[in-house]
């Protein structure tokens, strides 16, 4: 699979940022987006996106999972309203990943997919490695990884570790309800 192509041409890795974060069920607030920790995370995402834009980043990759991925993708779509040169690419691990989700997450998934400039579907159906393949696809095309990460084991931790091994700058955002807002550069 080649590099992402968006409406303004091939994007350079140096201007591309990807995102990883916990799914809704692994976040302290689950689906309660009015929780203080969730509101702080969303503000931190907006702040870091603004800083990345100011630093020259224009292409953003989103893994399209429930929870933190959706927050990130929606924030990029909002950033694009102010800056039309921003592009958003969905990196979908397999076709139909959303089919087992609750309806409210499915609706959000399809709204976000509509907002994307490009959608890369990595597998036709679920495979044991499809989530890891999606995460590596994003990291391998990016210079920066933003991670909504609590330190818990799982795919987010594995993605952060892979990104660090690949030499990416990793910016961690807090996900605890009692955490203070703001990025923690690595």
Estimate to the nearest angstrom the gap between the alpha carbon of 126 and the chain centroid: 20
pTM of the prediction? 0.88
Q: CA–CA separation, 61 vs 39, rounded Å?
A: 22
Q: Which CATH class is domain 12-185?
A: alpha beta
Residue with tokens 């990943």: 97
Note down pLDDT in tens along the chain; length 186 residues. Answer: 333 333 334 569 999 999 999 999 999 999 999 999 999 999 999 999 999 999 999 999 999 999 999 999 999 999 999 999 999 999 999 999 999 999 999 999 999 999 999 999 999 999 999 999 999 999 999 999 999 998 889 999 999 999 999 999 999 998 887 544 445 555
Q: CA–CA separation, 25 vs 90, rounded Å?
A: 21
């Amino acid at each position: 699979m080649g590099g992402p192509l968006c409406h303004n041409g091939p994007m350079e890795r140096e201007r591309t940022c990807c995102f990883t974060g916990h799914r809704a069920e692994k976040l302290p607030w689950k689906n309660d987006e009015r929780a203080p920790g969730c509101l702080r995370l969303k503000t931190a995402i907006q702040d870091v996106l603004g800083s990345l834009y100011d630093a020259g980043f224009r292409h953003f990759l989103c893994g399209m999972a429930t929870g933190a991925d959706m927050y990130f993708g929606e924030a990029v779509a909002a950033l694009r309203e102010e800056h039309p040169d921003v592009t958003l690419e969905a990196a979908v691990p397999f076709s139909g990943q959303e089919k087992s989700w609750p309806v409210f997450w499915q609706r959000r998934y399809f709204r976000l997919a509509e907002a994307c400039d490009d959608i890369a579907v990595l597998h036709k159906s679920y495979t044991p490695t499809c989530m890891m393949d999606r995460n590596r696809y994003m990291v391998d095309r990016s210079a920066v990884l933003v991670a909504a990460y609590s330190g818990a084991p799982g795919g987010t931790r594995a993605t952060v570790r892979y990104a660090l091994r690949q030499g990416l700058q990793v910016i961690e955002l807090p996900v605890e309800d009692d955490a203070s807002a703001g990025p923690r550069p690595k």
